Amino acid sequence: MSKLPIVGISIGDINSVAVEVVIKSLVDHRLNEYCIPVVYGSSKVISFWRKNLNLPDFQLNIVKSIDQINARKSNIINVWEEDVEIKPGEATELAGKYAFKALEAATNDIVEGKIHALVTAPLNKNTVNTAELRFTGHTEYLAERAGAESLMILASQDIRVALVTGHIPIGEIAQKLNKELIISKIKLFHNSLKNDFGINSPRIAVLGLNPHAGDNGLLGKEELEIIIPAVEQSQKEINGIVFGPYPADGFFGSGQYNKFDGVLAMYHDQGLIPFKSMAFMDGVNITTGLPFVRTSPDHGTAYSIAGKNIANEESFRNALYAALDILGKRNFSKEINSNPLPLTPMKRERFRIDF
């Protein structure tokens, strides 16, 4: 077997742009120089979308399990054999059912250590979630399967935004926030910025929950009672550079985010609206805190353009390369920390290593 990392790809919603961006990313064979892509889905679904995209020469090596993949090609594991009706642009329970089948199969393999990273194509949470299956998103599902606390990070070349709370109703956010949760997310973010992004002393900005960051208690007590104490304790515990809380509107509007390596938002839209306004085409969603690497594009199913051959694959391709980059940085971090050489005070000053 090749020494290249094996990257699993869950096929996503078969009625959406998911399969289109997967195919458009894998059609460039230069990717095979860096990894072994393995799609979890159906070769019949790939065939349908290959014809829709007018790419008759596009081929994937078809296998039944991860043990059969070809290290020199892009592969597909047939998670199901039956024909499934594809309706481009429509949100159907059937599409949700098979999107989860693909995700579950890929997750089984990465939990068992058979693949090195997982890149998830977009799916529709509403069609996956049923009375029998409670599903609120990739991040929550993967964290539950891994038995780990996770952190959602949206990253581009210009900005990295992480979330304290994820896919929960806006009315429940204040109830979910507490000092311990925020400290835990700050630590996860700090570790990811160091180990996944290679930033030795990351600067983290923490946003407030309320307008004007509470205006010193006038517009809410969460900043005074929860967020500020969490920031202060985090500064002591991780010996890191953590600042805040900042009012979200002025923070992004004035460009203050440029002074930090990462921004921790209190809830989903507080962080993702400004992020997607700046990096919708090239942003990547990263789930850190897991014992494996998981990334995805930062866009959704985009039913309105499904089947029109106009979906931009840049975000999905960036997700693939981000997974490889994180794998490399984690391996490097593991190597240099496994048996570090002791440094004298003189050498420490000479090399200016920041401990």
Domains and CATH numbers, the chain: 1-148+291-355 (3.40.718.10), 149-289 (3.40.718.10)
pLDDT-based confidence at 300, cuts 50/70/90?
A: very high
Pairing between β-strand 262-265 and β-strand 203-207 as defined by DSSP bridges: parallel
Instruction: Report the alpha-carbon distance of residue 46 to residue 153 in Å, rounded.
Output: 30
Q: Is 286 helix (H, G, I), strand (E, B) or coil?
A: strand
At residue 351, does pLDDT exceed 60? no
pTM (two decimals): 0.90
Q: What is the pLDDT of residue 190?
A: 96
pLDDT-based confidence at 355, cuts 50/70/90?
A: very low
Chain mean pLDDT for the chain: 92
pLDDT-based confidence at 338, cuts 50/70/90?
A: low
pLDDT-based confidence at 340, cuts 50/70/90?
A: low
Please name which of 25, 197, 7, 26 lies closest in space to residue 119, comparing C-alpha atoms: 7
Q: What is the pLDDT of residue 350?
A: 32
CA 262 remoteness from chain centre: 15
* % of residues, the chain, pLDDT over 90: 87
- 237's tokens: 């515990």
Q: What is the pLDDT of residue 77?
A: 98
Q: What is the pLDDT of residue 132?
A: 87
Q: What is the tens place of the pLDDT at every residue in 175-210?
A: 999 999 999 999 999 999 999 999 999 999 999 999
Q: What is the pLDDT of residue 343?
A: 44
Instruction: Report the alpha-carbon distance of residue 260 to residue 263 in Å, rounded.
Output: 7
Q: What is the tens place of the pLDDT at every residue in 226-271?
A: 999 999 999 999 877 999 999 999 999 999 999 999 999 999 999 9
Instruction: Report the alpha-carbon distance of residue 190 to residue 199 in Å, rounded.
Output: 9
Please name which of 178, 289, 182 lies closest in space to residue 237, comparing C-alpha atoms: 182
Q: What is the tens place of the pLDDT at every residue in 210-225?
A: 999 999 999 999 999 9
At residue 61, does pLDDT exceed 70? yes
State the CB neighbour count (10 A cutoff) for residue 334. 10
Provide the β-strand partners of residue 262.
Answer: 204
Q: What is the tens place of the pLDDT at every residue in 69-93?
A: 999 999 999 999 999 999 999 999 9
Instruction: Report the alpha-carbon distance of residue 67 to residue 160 in Å, rounded.
Output: 36
